[in-house]
Amino acid sequence: MKIDLQIDSTKLILRLRNGQRRLAYATVNAINNTAKRIQAAERRRVEKEFTVRKKNFILRQAAVIKPFANVKQGRPYAEIAVGQKPRLLLSAFERGAERKPSTPSARRVAEPVIGGPARPRFNQPVTPALRLRRLRFDRTKTGRRRAGVTRTKTYLVPQVGIFQRTGPATSRLVYFFSRGKRLKPRLRFVETAKKEADRWFREEMEKEVLNAIARAKGRGL
């Protein structure tokens, strides 16, 4: 997303000594301060709309500012976007998308049973020992996975799910295989960013202009 902003209150600061340089730094500071305000608003939006399990990680990815505006590098803009880490679904909630298996060759999505051993509660992350990437099912000499007991006492039933043995003749479902689901557009990242930019940029720019004038002590006026 790109937000274009026009500045018309520049005559006073341009009359200062090194006025163009001071204006450049004031503009960059105002842009970066506005970007930080957008970042904070996006994080609040995520916390309000979603059940956040890994809070520190998710909030960092909710709005990533990179790069910041920079005078020395000739960059009069900042870019802010949803994180794009592997397996992170957050950006898919902007326009809505089909949740697909993380493994390219897979046809179904493995979803942990809420209240089960992998995810005892909805707001909890998956138990580390039962994360899919850590489950290593026994393999035969031909390399095929065998529906047998592993260290976690889990076994796989194709097209159905992953089970865990609880006794000689009993098992419980840990993951069930689904065809995926449609993710609704709940993030509203662009809408929030535009709203915050319209709300704060003028105020941030005026504040930076006053700071520049104060630092210059009126020299050049």
**pLDDT class of 181 with cuts at 50, 70, 90:** confident
User: 125: pLDDT confidence band, cut at 50, 70 and 90?
Assistant: confident
> Distance between CA 112 and CA 153 in Å, rounded?
16
Q: What is the mean predicted confidence (pLDDT) over 139-152?
A: 55
Burial of 38 (0-12, 13-18, 19+ CB in 10 A): buried
Chain-centroid distance of CA 215 in Å reads: 38
Q: Is 171 exposed, middle or buried (0-12, 13-18, 19+ CB in 10 A)?
A: middle
Confidence of residue 172 (pLDDT cuts 50, 70, 90): very high
Q: Which residue has the higher pLDDT, 167 or 33?
A: 33
- Residue-level pLDDT at 212: 82
Contact 28, 78 (CB under 8 A): no
Buried b (16+ CB within 10 A) or exposed e, 108-117: bbbbbbeebb
More reliable by pLDDT, 129 or 20 = 129
Residue 91 CA to residue 85 CA, distance in Å, equals: 10
CB 2 within 8 A of CB 75: no
Tell whether the model's pLDDT for residue 75 goes beyond 70. Answer: yes
- The yes-or-no verdict on residue 138 having pLDDT over 60 is no
Lowest mean pLDDT among 55-64, 104-113, 124-133, 191-200: 104-113
What's the chain's average pLDDT? 83
Query: In which band, very low, low, confident or very high, does the pLDDT at 140 lie, cut at 50, 70 and 90?
Result: very low
Tokens matching residue 143: 């390399």
**Predicted TM-score (pTM) of this structure:** 0.73
Inter-residue contact 83 to 64 (CB < 8 Å)? yes
87-121, pLDDT tens digit by residue? 888 999 998 887 776 666 677 888 999 999 999 99
Neighbours of 132 (CB within 10 A): 14
Span 6-20, mean pLDDT?
59
Number of residues that make up the chain:
221
Measured CA to CA, the distance from residue 98 to residue 84 in angstroms comes to: 16
- Whether the per-residue pLDDT at 190 is higher than 60: the answer is yes
Q: In angstroms, what CA-CA distances link 63 with 34, 43, 90, 121, 158? A: 13, 7, 10, 27, 38
Using the predicted structure, report yes or no on whether residue 40 has a pLDDT greater than 90: yes
Among residues 75, 176, 190, which one has the least CA distance to residue 118? 176
pLDDT band at 12 (very low <50, low <70, confident <90, very high): low
Which pair of structure tokens corresponds to residue 180?
Answer: 């995926």
Percentage, residues of the chain above pLDDT 90: 42
- Taken in order 18, 20, 24, 29, is the CA torsion positive or negative? positive
